[in-house]
């Protein structure tokens, strides 16, 4: 190479590097929104969230006395095998009702990550695999889960019956508590759970006595649900931004979100296809999808919804069961539920409105940060079981940062009165 | 006369968005089944059609000659052809409402985009299929 050529070559390289730096880090201005985009933005805004859907299966769902009673139950550690675990042990109000751990920790280690309970009143399915179909039916499960509260329903209904405070509160909302004092009819510990002794005690009871216990137990769940219905997401910067954009106030909208955040929003609703599943004002379709997430180290791949659907159909406290308050048993979601191969390894799409305080992410907390979540979507790996619906994205590092910046704009304090966000007095 | 016609149109206008919302502008409102045995149409009981809400459709079946069919058995499948997945529910025909109308319960769509609903109609010993596409 002649010196001149070498110089030319060097300049060329410098030019390329400069171009690349500009391309990767130079300022970008977001394109203007089309009218189709605007209706998508509106659909995502919290202003589009409909009023709380009624729960006809729970007659006290909107009864303030029940919410107050449920609030007490939610924080009461006496509802556990060791007197140390309440719902709030894992669903901590100061962390948007999650716990900051990969998997929940009560009496033992839960099988999955503790999701937030925020806005669960809007979901037809509860749990990552949707194995319960109402907030009240869900609330009954952790109480008897050996690794969560670890108790049994006989213990709980007797506790309510014997505590004068709780008893009068219960009876003012529901009906007189049956007399559980006859030890021959009502053993110390009884429930249809895996523990063989406790299960045998339950089986030895008459069907009508079991029903008495189940009714009080179901009502405890209904009170907890009345409380949980109040836990709702608040307005975020994103919602303010959409409001300003829809009013045509460009100047104001520019002061609410930064360009990188807006670019992330554009990716979210367009090229990155996040909106296919994270849609609507809660950023979830509440449906079940397989996103190719790796299993938790040491766990078998999680079968997800394919098992959840079987469990919810078998749950005696489901919408079609004896303890629903809806005389018409109008349960469209359960009646027309689907099953099939698409559900293998699928979990419910989580809402993205409470990400800031709910790390680690995914059903088993496999992903420590939002960057980890986005990296998985970017690679779109083959699923360990079932089929990954989220195809690889091949976005640049910069675009991933924009997506993450956008997700952070959804963070907001809850729209719930302060008194509900701490233990009751 | 013209005023009356205009008034009539004006009265109907508020309903128009509900009627067409969710449907592709170019989609017909009446479909011929594949072999031409039946003509079908549907009306969503959810106006406007929207994602993430379970609802019912009223499905209408006539013969090619326009006679209503009241003894049909109808089954439904569907999905998003571009996403390669099915419906999020298993809708079923639950009632024959008379006058060729059938209640199809359990419809729900969980994503925006192009959907194809495959309807199999069996009546009078004949079976035929129609694919209805709609964009949400
Ligand atoms: Cu799809």
Distance from the Cα of B117 to chain A's closest Cα (Å) equals 16
CB B102 within 8 A of CB B96: yes
Residue B110 with chain A: CB contacts under 8 Å: 277, 279, 285-287
Candidates B85, B88, B90; nearest CB to A389: B85
A-chain residue closest to B110, CA distance: A285
A-chain residue closest to B104, CA distance: A336
Res. B52: pLDDT tops 90: yes
- Give domain limits for chain B: 16-135
> How much is the CA Rg of chain B, to the nearest whole Å?
16
pLDDT of residue A17: 73
Whole-angstrom Cα distance, residue A251 to residue A244?
Answer: 9
Distance from the Cα of B20 to chain A's closest Cα (Å) equals 16
- pTM of the predicted protein model: 0.92
Query: pLDDT tens digits for B62-85?
Result: 999 999 999 999 999 999 999 999
Inter-chain residue contact B111 with A337, CB threshold 8 Å: no
CB A170 within 8 A of CB A183: no
Residue A40 with chain B: CB contacts under 8 Å: 112
B-chain residue closest to A290, CA distance: B85
A-chain residue closest to B80, CA distance: A276
Residue A337 with chain B: CB contacts under 8 Å: 89-90
B-chain residue closest to A282, CA distance: B52
Inter-chain residue contact A336 with B113, CB threshold 8 Å: no
The torsion region of residue A157 among left (phi > 0), alpha (psi -120 to 50) and beta comes to alpha
> Ligand 1 center to residue A169 CA distance, Å?
47
The whole-number mean pLDDT for each consecutive block of 10 residues of chain A, a chain of 425 residues, reads 75 75 66 93 97 97 98 98 98 97 96 97 98 98 98 98 98 98 96 97 98 98 98 98 95 94 97 97 98 86 96 98 96 97 96 96 94 95 88 95 98 97 95
B-chain residue closest to A349, CA distance: B110
Residue B89 with chain A: CB contacts under 8 Å: 333, 336-338
pLDDT of residue B28: 55
* CB-based contact, A380 to chain B, within 8 Å: no
Domain B16-135: which topology? Immunoglobulin-like (2.60.40)
> Ligand 1 center to residue B77 CA distance, Å?
15
Whole-angstrom Cα distance, residue B92 to residue A204?
Answer: 41
Residue A276 with chain B: CB contacts under 8 Å: 83, 111-113
Distance from the Cα of A277 to chain B's closest Cα (Å) equals 7
In the 3-class helix/strand/coil scheme, how is chain A assigned residue by residue? CCHHHHHHHHHHHHHHHHHHHHHHHCCCCCCCCCHHHHHHHHHHCHHHCCCCCCCCCCCCCCCHHHHHHHHHHHHCCCCCCCCCCCHHHHCEHHHCCECCCCCCECCCECCCCCCCCCCHHHCCCECCCCCECCHHHHHHHHHHCCCCCCCCHHHHHHHHHHCHHHHHHHHHHCCCCCCCCCCCCCCCCCCCCCCHHHHHHHHHCCHHHHHHHHHHHHHHHHHHHHHHCCCCCCCCHHHHHHHHHHCCCHHHHHHHCCHHHHHHHHHHHCCCCHHHCCCCCCCCCCCEECCCCCCCCCCCCCCEHHHHHHHHHHCCCCCCCCCCCCCCCCCHHHHCECCCHHHCCEEECCCCCCCCCCCCECCCCCECCHHHHHHHHHHCCCCCCCCCCCCCCCCCHHHHHHHHHHHHCCCCCCCCCHHHHCCCC
> Ligand 1 center to residue B83 CA distance, Å?
5
Distance from the Cα of B51 to chain A's closest Cα (Å) equals 8
Q: In chain B, what are the helix, strand and coil shares in percent, each to the nearest 5?
A: 15, 45, 40
Res. B7: pLDDT tops 90: no
Inter-chain residue contact A338 with B90, CB threshold 8 Å: yes
CB contacts < 8 A, A to B, total 53
* Domains, chain A, ordered by start: 28-52+235-304+344-413 (1.10.760.10), 64-231 (1.10.760.10)
Mutation target vs A (from B50, B91, B110; most A CBs, 10 A cutoff) = B110
Mutation target vs B (from A44, A280, A336; most B CBs, 10 A cutoff) = A336
In chain B, the largest separation of any two C-alpha atoms, in whole Å, equals 52
Candidates A280, A337, A342; nearest CB to B51: A280
Token output for A376: 């998985």
> Ligand 1 center to residue A285 CA distance, Å?
11
Inter-chain residue contact A276 with B83, CB threshold 8 Å: yes
Res. B4: pLDDT tops 70: no
Residues of B near A (Cβ–Cβ under 8 Å) read 51-52, 54, 83, 85-92, 105-106, 108, 110-113
Strand partners, B122: B73, B127
Sheet holding B126-135, edge to edge: B85-86, B73-80, B114-123, B126-135
Inter-chain residue contact B86 with A280, CB threshold 8 Å: no
């Amino acid at each position: 190479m002649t010196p001149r050529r070498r110089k030319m070559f060097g300049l060329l390289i410098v030019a390329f590097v400069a171009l690349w730096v500009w391309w990767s880090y130079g300022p970008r201005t977001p394109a203007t929104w089309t009218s189709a985009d605007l209706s998508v933005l509106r659909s995502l805004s919290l202003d589009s969230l409909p009023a709380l859907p009624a729960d006809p299966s729970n007659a006290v769902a909107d009864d303030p006395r029940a919410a107050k009673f449920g609030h007490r139950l939610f924080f009461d550690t006496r509802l556990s095998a060791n007197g140390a675990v309440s719902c709030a042990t894992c669903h901590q109000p100061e962390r948007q009702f999650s716990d900051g751990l990969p998997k929940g920790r009560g009496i033992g280690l839960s099988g999955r990550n503790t999701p937030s309970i925020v806005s669960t009143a809007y979901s037809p399915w509860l749990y990552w695999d949707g194995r319960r179909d109402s907030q009240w039916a869900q609330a009954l499960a952790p109480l008897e889960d050996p690794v969560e509260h670890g108790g049994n329903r006989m213990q709980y209904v007797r506790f309510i019956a014997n505590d004068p405070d709780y008893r009068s509160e219960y009876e003012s909302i529901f009906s007189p508590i049956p007399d559980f004092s006859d030890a021959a009819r009502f053993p110390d510990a009884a429930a249809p759970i895996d523990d063989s002794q406790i299960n045998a005690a339950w089986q030895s009871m008459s069907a009508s006595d079991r029903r008495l216990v189940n009714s009080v137990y179901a009502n405890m769940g209904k009170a907890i649900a009345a409380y949980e219905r109040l836990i709702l997401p608040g307005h975020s910067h994103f919602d303010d931004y959409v409001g300003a954009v829809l009013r045509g106030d460009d100047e104001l909208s520019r002061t609410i979100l930064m360009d990188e955040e807006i670019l992330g929003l554009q990716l979210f609703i367009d090229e990155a296809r996040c909106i296919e599943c994270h849609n609507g004002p809660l950023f979830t379709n509440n449906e079940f999808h397989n996103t190719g997430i790796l299993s938790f180290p040491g766990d078998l791949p999680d079968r997800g919804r394919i098992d959840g659907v079987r469990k919810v159909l078998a749950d005696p406290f489901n919408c079609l069961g004896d303890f629903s308050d809806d005389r018409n048993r109008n349960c469209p979601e359960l009646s027309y539920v689907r099953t099939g191969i698409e559900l293998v390894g699928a979990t419910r799409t989580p809402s993205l409105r409470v990400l800031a305080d709910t790390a680690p992410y995914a059903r088993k907390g496999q992903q420590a940060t939002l960057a980890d979540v986005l990296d998985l979507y970017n690679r779109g790996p083959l699923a360990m079981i079932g089929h990954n619906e989220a195809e690889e994205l091949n976005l640049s590092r910069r675009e991933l940062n924009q997506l993450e910046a956008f997700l952070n704009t959804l963070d907001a304090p809850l729209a719930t009165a302060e008194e509900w966000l701490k233990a009751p007095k | 006369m013209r005023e009356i016609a205009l008034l009539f149109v004006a009265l109907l206008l508020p309903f128009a968005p509900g009627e067409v919302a969710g449907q592709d502008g170019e989609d017909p409102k009446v479909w011929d089944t594949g072999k031409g045995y039946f003509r079908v149409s549907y009306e969503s009981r959810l106006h406007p059609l929207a994602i993430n809400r379970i609802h019912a459709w009223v499905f209408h079946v006539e013969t090619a000659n326009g006679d209503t069919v009241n003894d049909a058995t109808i089954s439904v499948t569907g999905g998003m052809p571009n996403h390669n997945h099915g419906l999020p529910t298993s809708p079923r025909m639950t009632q024959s409402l008379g006058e060729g109308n059938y209640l199809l319960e359990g419809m729900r769509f969980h994503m925006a985009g192009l959907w194809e609903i495959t309807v199999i109609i069996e009546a009078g010993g004949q079976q035929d299929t129609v694919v209805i596409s709609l964009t949400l």
